[in-house]
Amino acid sequence: MSILLNEETKVVVQGITGSEGTFHTRRNVAYGTNVVAGVTPGKGGQKWDDSVPVYDTVDEAVREVGANASLIFVPARFAADAIFEAADAGVGLIVCITEGIPVLDMARVYPYVQSRGITLIGPNCPGLISPGKANMGIIPGEITGPGPIGLVSRSGTLTYQVMYEMWTRGVGQSTCIGIGGDPIVGTNFIDVLGRFAEDPETKAVVLIGEIGGDDEERAASFAKENVDKPIVAYVAGFTAPEGKRMGHAGAIVSGSKGTAAAKAEAFESMGFRVGRSPTETALFAIEAVR
């Protein structure tokens, strides 16, 4: 069973008429995602790809076609307002792909969506996919298929590689979620681990972390107490130098905190296996369900 997203989810795409929105929405629709509407202010009344109605606001999309999830492809300077708009319209799931959103903008967004019980994935993330059912974001559907392993990651490209390593060996995933690597994101490891723990068809979980912050350490502690399923972790950045940003805005080591070694030690001290490469991580996960 998937979490958060399935074939019945009614998706509205904010920024559907832009180049990125058009490209990825076509891929999502081809995968089977139920895209019911698009939103581009000033283009209401048009049809995207001659089939999907375009509205000026998310509220219209919710009222007219029952959209209950929003996928955001808008420039960074407008992204926070796009999230606020989707939240005010009453959708329960928001996936924001946009990167480069100012931290101060997200500092306003996060408590707003949390107070309304809305699940926000991202920003600066690849989105999520429930293999064989639906895809919201930019994760390639060709590299995965249905299976018993849940995956949650701060890294997009590492998500793809681990998914592919498992799929080429005949093991698919229940749901794969890229939570994003910015300093403030809407959903963290603990949020997703809790959902996987309650999903009867998710038999094991892969968690992909990276340097910076302490999210992985806190996730390890939570999992030890609350997740009665095998967990395999991978932490990118074992050779990252102190003080140098590696990829995401949140991926930076400050002093002795946030190192890959410290994060790996946290998981191993709790009894979880930690792969030292994406391939080894995939193999550990496959062993856990066979």
> In terms of residue numbers, what domain contains 278?
140-289
**Model confidence over 133-145: pLDDT tens digits?**
999 999 999 999 9
Residue 22 placed within a domain: yes
Mark 130-150 as b/e (b = at least 16 C-beta within 10 Å): bbbbbbbbbbebebbeebbbb
Active site residue 248: yes
Average pLDDT (210-227) is 93
Residue 106 placed within a domain: yes
Q: Percent of the chain scored above 70 by pLDDT?
A: 93
Indicate the average pLDDT of the chain: 93
Catalytic residue, from 203, 248, 263, 273: name it. Answer: 248
Q: Give the pLDDT of residue 236.
A: 86
Tokens of 26: 């076509």
What's the total number of domains in the chain? 2
**Model confidence over 59-87: pLDDT tens digits?**
999 999 999 999 999 999 999 999 999 99
Look up residue 106 and give its amino acid. Answer: M
Map tokens 């996060």 to a residue: 110
Residue 1 placed within a domain: no
Look up residue 86 and give its amino acid. Answer: A
Q: What is the largest CA-CA distance in the chain?
A: 57
Average pLDDT (145-151) is 98
What kind and span of H or E run contains 222? helix 215-226
Are 154 and 267 within one domain? yes
Residue 126 placed within a domain: no
Which CATH number belongs to the domain containing residue 146 in this structure?
Answer: 3.40.50.261
